[in-house]
């Protein structure tokens, strides 16, 4: 699987959220501080799987189009996945960013955007995948943990790794304190990774991601 460098900048980003949208805000802040062309990417729309969340409020304050695609409004996951695919495709994204989006996308979404869907995970993959990466790493007694930015594939947190950041576990940490420090690193890592992918292009060979 491969992706050529962007033909024109900024790259178009569609961001998917399920909660507070702090990773979305980090991307918006980066493009505002540097300018979309210099950063290399620009958020063009924000989607969610639920109503009334702070992430959508952030998008609306930024003047961005938003859409909500709730799973319960569909008879099954396949029809939800088809509808989500249409929603995202309408905004012609170069990259799709899953920024705390708490739904697993399906076959149709992957067929449309495979190799272009970026996700973050609050652990050092392939260790501690799944919804409770921080809890599981903390309970395991690791001395270092961190976060991973990766491409989404058919598995859960199994896609090719783009970048990783390390966070030491302190003796006085509890799960909450550790998670907050991971989130700080995660935001910086995501902003940097998206910008580099957009500006430089990339290729995926097997499990490895190469950014010129």
- Among the listed residues 91, 121, 150, 179, the single catalytic one is 121
75-108 core/surface letters (b: 16 or more CB in 10 A; e: else): eeeeebbbbbbebbeebebbbbbbbbbebebbeb
Quote the CA–CA distance of 136 and 128 in Å, as a whole number: 6
Helix axes 175-200, 133-140, angle to 10 degrees: 120
Kindly provide the residue ranges of all beta strands, DSSP E only, lying in the chain, ordered along the sequence: 2-3, 11-17, 41-48, 66-68, 95-98, 117-121, 144-151, 161-168, 202-205, 208-210
Token pair in block for residue 123: 């652990």
Phi, psi of 210 (to 5 degrees): -115, 125
> DSSP class of residue 72?
G
- Concerning whether 132 is annotated as a catalytic residue, the answer is no
**Contact of 102 with 121, CB cutoff 8 Å:** no
Catalytic residues: 121
């Amino acid at each position: 699987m491969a992706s050529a460098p962007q033909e024109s900048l900024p790259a178009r980003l569609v961001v998917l959220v399920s909660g507070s949208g702090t990773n979305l805000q980090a991307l918006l802040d980066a493009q505002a501080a540097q300018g979309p062309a210099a950063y290399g990417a620009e958020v063009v729309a924000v989607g969610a799987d639920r109503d009334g969340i702070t992430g959508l409020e952030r998008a609306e304050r930024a003047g961005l189009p938003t859409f909500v695609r709730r799973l319960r409004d569909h008879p099954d996951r396949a029809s939800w996945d088809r509808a989500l695919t249409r929603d995202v495709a309408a905004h012609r994204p170069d990259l799709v960013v899953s920024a705390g989006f708490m739904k697993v996308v399906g076959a149709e979404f992957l067929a449309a955007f495979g190799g272009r869907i970026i996700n973050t995970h609050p652990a050092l993959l392939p260790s501690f995948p799944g919804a409770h990466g921080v809890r599981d790493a903390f309970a395991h007694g690791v001395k270092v943990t961190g976060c991973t930015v990766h491409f989404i594939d058919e598995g859960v947190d199994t896609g090719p790794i783009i970048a990783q950041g390390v966070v030491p576990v302190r003796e006085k940490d509890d799960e909450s304190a550790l998670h907050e420090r991971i989130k700080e690193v995660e935001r910086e890592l995501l902003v940097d990774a998206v910008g580099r992918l957009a500006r430089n292009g990339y290729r995926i060979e097997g499990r490895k991601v190469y950014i010129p």
